[in-house]
Amino acid sequence: MRRITVNLLIDYAPDHPYHRASVAALHEAAAKTDIPIELRIVPTDTIDAVENLTGASSAVFIGPGTPYRRPEAANEVIRAARERGVPLVAT
Protein backbone atom coordinates (compact mmCIF):
# COMPACT_ATOMS: atom_id res chain seq x y z
CA MET A 1 0.00 0.00 0.00
CA ARG A 2 1.17 3.50 -0.81
CA ARG A 3 2.42 5.62 2.07
CA ILE A 4 0.88 9.07 2.37
CA THR A 5 2.74 12.14 3.53
CA VAL A 6 1.09 14.42 6.08
CA ASN A 7 2.73 17.72 6.90
CA LEU A 8 1.67 18.73 10.41
CA LEU A 9 2.08 22.50 10.63
CA ILE A 10 2.64 23.08 14.33
CA ASP A 11 5.07 24.88 16.60
CA TYR A 12 5.47 21.62 18.51
CA ALA A 13 6.06 21.58 22.24
CA PRO A 14 6.31 18.06 23.70
CA ASP A 15 4.68 19.15 26.97
CA HIS A 16 1.63 20.64 25.21
CA PRO A 17 -1.22 18.09 25.54
CA TYR A 18 -2.97 19.15 22.30
CA HIS A 19 0.25 18.83 20.34
CA ARG A 20 0.85 15.31 21.64
CA ALA A 21 -2.80 14.42 20.98
CA SER A 22 -2.61 15.66 17.38
CA VAL A 23 0.41 13.49 16.63
CA ALA A 24 -1.14 10.49 18.40
CA ALA A 25 -4.45 10.92 16.54
CA LEU A 26 -2.77 10.93 13.14
CA HIS A 27 -0.78 7.79 13.97
CA GLU A 28 -3.88 6.08 15.38
CA ALA A 29 -5.92 6.93 12.27
CA ALA A 30 -3.17 5.46 10.10
CA ALA A 31 -3.07 2.28 12.18
CA LYS A 32 -6.86 1.86 12.25
CA THR A 33 -7.19 2.31 8.50
CA ASP A 34 -4.03 0.35 7.69
CA ILE A 35 -2.74 3.30 5.66
CA PRO A 36 0.91 4.00 6.41
CA ILE A 37 1.81 7.66 6.86
CA GLU A 38 4.96 9.67 6.90
CA LEU A 39 4.27 12.40 9.42
CA ARG A 40 6.39 15.52 9.07
CA ILE A 41 6.19 18.05 11.89
CA VAL A 42 6.78 21.49 10.37
CA PRO A 43 7.26 24.47 12.70
CA THR A 44 6.04 27.76 11.24
CA ASP A 45 9.44 29.40 11.65
CA THR A 46 11.04 26.80 9.35
CA ILE A 47 8.71 27.32 6.38
CA ASP A 48 10.64 28.90 3.54
CA ALA A 49 9.08 27.38 0.44
CA VAL A 50 5.34 26.86 0.64
CA GLU A 51 5.43 25.10 -2.72
CA ASN A 52 7.69 22.42 -1.26
CA LEU A 53 5.41 21.97 1.73
CA THR A 54 2.16 21.61 -0.21
CA GLY A 55 3.66 19.96 -3.30
CA ALA A 56 5.24 17.14 -1.32
CA SER A 57 2.14 16.44 0.75
CA SER A 58 -0.78 14.11 0.48
CA ALA A 59 -2.39 16.38 3.09
CA VAL A 60 -1.66 19.27 5.41
CA PHE A 61 -2.86 19.28 9.01
CA ILE A 62 -2.83 22.63 10.78
CA GLY A 63 -2.25 21.83 14.43
CA PRO A 64 -3.44 23.70 17.50
CA GLY A 65 -1.36 26.20 19.36
CA THR A 66 -1.86 29.73 18.17
CA PRO A 67 -0.30 32.16 18.29
CA TYR A 68 2.17 30.66 15.87
CA ARG A 69 5.73 31.93 15.77
CA ARG A 70 5.12 32.93 12.13
CA PRO A 71 1.36 33.28 11.59
CA GLU A 72 1.89 34.69 8.10
CA ALA A 73 3.59 31.42 7.10
CA ALA A 74 0.63 29.40 8.42
CA ASN A 75 -1.77 31.59 6.43
CA GLU A 76 0.32 31.19 3.29
CA VAL A 77 0.29 27.39 3.63
CA ILE A 78 -3.50 27.41 4.03
CA ARG A 79 -3.88 29.59 0.93
CA ALA A 80 -1.47 27.48 -1.13
CA ALA A 81 -3.13 24.21 -0.12
CA ARG A 82 -6.54 25.57 -1.09
CA GLU A 83 -5.28 26.84 -4.46
CA ARG A 84 -3.45 23.59 -5.26
CA GLY A 85 -6.22 21.25 -4.13
CA VAL A 86 -4.15 19.73 -1.31
CA PRO A 87 -6.43 18.29 1.39
CA LEU A 88 -6.21 20.42 4.51
CA VAL A 89 -7.55 19.95 8.03
CA ALA A 90 -7.27 22.65 10.66
CA THR A 91 -8.07 22.50 14.35
Q: What is the CATH number of the domain that holds 42?
A: 3.40.50.2300
Tens digit of each residue's pLDDT (9 = 90 or more) over 59-90: 999 998 778 999 998 888 888 888 889 899 98
* Cα 45-37-2 angle, rounded to 5 deg: 130
Give the list of residues 6+ apart from residue 47 with CB closer than 8 angstroms, or none: 9, 53, 70, 73, 76, 77
Task: Give the domain extent around 15.
Answer: 4-90
The CA distance from 55 to 51, in Å, is 5
Tens digit of each residue's pLDDT (9 = 90 or more) over 50-59: 666 666 678 9
Q: What is the mean pLDDT of the chain?
A: 87
In the chain, how many domains are there? 1
* Cα 57-24-20 angle, rounded to 5 deg: 100
